[in-house]
Amino acid sequence: GAGVSQSPSNKVTEKGKDVELRCDPISGHTALYWYRQRLGQGLEFLIYFQGNSAPDKSGLPSDRFSAERTGESVSTLTIQRTQQEDSAVYLCASSPRDGSYEQYFGPGTRLTVT
Amino acid sequence: EDQVTQSPEALRLQEGESSSLNCSYTVSGLRGLFWYRQDPGKGPEFLFTLYSAGEEKEKERLKATLTKKESFLHITAPKPEDSATYLCAVRGGDSNYQLIWGAGTKLIIKP
């Protein structure tokens, strides 16, 4: 079946602009994660959605970052007033349940802030 | 503080030259250790989950082992297509879903 998809695959934006990144999880997966990956570094947890529960936003680095998810479907990650330090690959993953089970990752969105 | 450290940062091997990657962890109450493979420009791909010391899992040329302090990913007679970055992550007792990730080991297999 279809895997996790993300769009756009690449995004170049000017400092100060807002960007919206999209994630389509695997159908039926209740858990959805957003991560940030800087070059040569491990994955940095941003936010976690599980079904209709309140999301865990504890990893969001500042109030410029926000994310939404409609039910158990599409999620969007929005970064307002982008800064150069926001440049990174943003990865989305979904899981059939909580973190006890493996996560399935999308290909990521490479964000470059100029 | 929960922590995951992977070594070496990079490893270059000749095709057929077996070796091991290390993942050392500090976590309160391990609830799972995960190995992933990441190819350039792609998201990580799940390989193994290990839950308790002494557990081993195998897939083709890869074998993952677990002790109370570390995990090894052994690669036997590697091929160029095994070249990738290998990521390790752990889930500790304090979290139901968050994983702590290592920075990865970049493995390069020369033909």
Please write the tens of the pLDDT for every residue from A41-68.
889 999 999 888 889 999 999 999 999 9
Please enumerate residues of A whose Cβ is less than 8 A from a Cβ of B.
4, 31, 33, 40-45, 48, 50, 56, 91, 93, 98-100, 102-108
Do B44 and A102 lie within an 8 Å CB cutoff? Answer: no
Report the share of chain B in percent with pLDDT over 90.
83
Q: How confident is the model at residue B93 (pLDDT cuts 50, 70, 90)?
A: confident
φ, ψ at B25 (rounded to 5°): -135, 150
Q: Which residues of A touch B96 (CB under 8 A)?
A: 98-99
Domains of chain A and any CATH numbers: 5-107 (2.60.40.10)
Residue A31 contacts residue A99 (beta carbons within 8 Å) = yes
> Which of A6, A102, A104 has the most B C-beta neighbours within 10 Å, making it the best mutation to test the interface with B?
A102
Residue A102 contacts residue A29 (beta carbons within 8 Å) = no
Alpha-carbon gap, residue A105 to A91, rounded angstroms: 7
pLDDT in the model for residue A28: 87
Nearest to A86 by CA among A63, A66, A111, A68: A111
Residue A111 contacts residue A87 (beta carbons within 8 Å) = yes
- CATH homologous superfamily for the domain B3-110: Immunoglobulins (2.60.40.10)
Q: Which residues of A touch B87 (CB under 8 A)?
A: 42-43
Q: Which residues of A touch B34 (CB under 8 A)?
A: 102
pLDDT in the model for residue A98: 59
Do B49 and A48 lie within an 8 Å CB cutoff? Answer: no
Q: How confident is the model at residue B59 (pLDDT cuts 50, 70, 90)?
A: very high
Give the model confidence (pLDDT) of A62-111 as tens digits.
Answer: 999 999 998 888 999 999 999 999 999 999 999 987 556 689 999 999 99
